[in-house]
Amino acid sequence: MGILSELDKVAGDILKDTRDILIFIGRLLLISTFIEDGFRMWHQWTEHTEYIGNTWDWQTEIATVVVGINLAGQVLGAILVLFRILVTPSVVLLTLIVIIQTIVYSIIFDIKFLMRHLAMIGALLLLLAEHKDRRAQQQKQKTPVGLPVLDEHSPSSGLQFFGRIFLVLLFCTLLHFWGWSQAAENFKNDEDAFEDLIGKGLDY
């Protein structure tokens, strides 16, 4: 027990000293999808423009504007969130970008990609919850000593709850859908083989 207590104390000290670094890395990982998608969109500009233009029968100029808004919104919003600049407006901007992509790329009709986009919204909710918690702590520190502090449930608790639920959907797309699709394919193959076997038996 003494060793475990000592290890727990050492781990707590390490986390306390590296808390800011870990939070920064966490924000970077949560918004890495937007940064990666922005760079990929830049390198595949022509493909994205042609796809949107052909899908919605839009002129090249309109499709270019849509792709440009997506690219600029993702990269700018991600950078602002990463360095904690205008966090709430940036999260709203990234959420609107996700909704626009869901509609423009017809992702709403693909349940797997739709759940991935919901996971991205979940990541944004976690970022917003972390920002609100930080602001609340700073506000408490500014409160003069001796004044009463209202003990209210933080609104970020709900954001964290829904954010975690949406974020889990990403793992569901990687495991659940793959497993069931493989199982369905195997079942279909087994069913076809069984029907062939019965057909051959009837022939005899």
For residue range 69-113, what is the model confidence (pLDDT) as tens digits?
999 999 999 999 989 899 999 999 999 999 999 999 888 777 778
pLDDT at 189 over 60: no
pLDDT at 89: 94
**Which tokens is 11 given?**
């781990």
**Which tokens is 107 given?**
């992702």
Residues 126 and 159 sit within 8 Å (Cβ to Cβ): yes
d(C-alpha 38, C-alpha 41), whole Å: 5
Q: Which of 50, 40, 124 is nearest to 81 (CA)?
A: 124
Q: Which of 94, 166, 89, 87 is nearest to 133 (CA)?
A: 87
**Which tokens is 43 given?**
């390198």
User: Taking the CB of residue 111, how many other CB atoms lie within 10 A of it?
Assistant: 11
Please write the tens of the pLDDT for every residue from 30-40: 888 899 999 99
Please write the tens of the pLDDT for every residue from 61-81: 999 999 999 999 999 999 999
Q: Is the dihedral of CA 122, 128, 134, 140 positive or negative?
A: negative
Q: Which of 85, 79, 167, 168 is nearest to 125 (CA)?
A: 167
d(C-alpha 93, C-alpha 157), whole Å: 22
Q: How many CA atoms lie within 13 A of 188 on its CB side?
A: 6
Please write the tens of the pLDDT for every residue from 137-180: 777 666 555 544 444 455 567 777 777 777 776 666 666 444 44
Q: Which of 42, 44, 46, 74 is nearest to 60 (CA)?
A: 46
Helix, strand, coil fractions of the chain, as percent rounded to 5: 85, 0, 15
pLDDT at 98: 93
pLDDT at 153: 52
Residue spans per domain, the chain: 2-109
With a pLDDT cut of 90, the percent of the chain lying above it is: 32
pLDDT at 144: 58
Q: Which of 157, 129, 140 is nearest to 23 (CA)?
A: 129
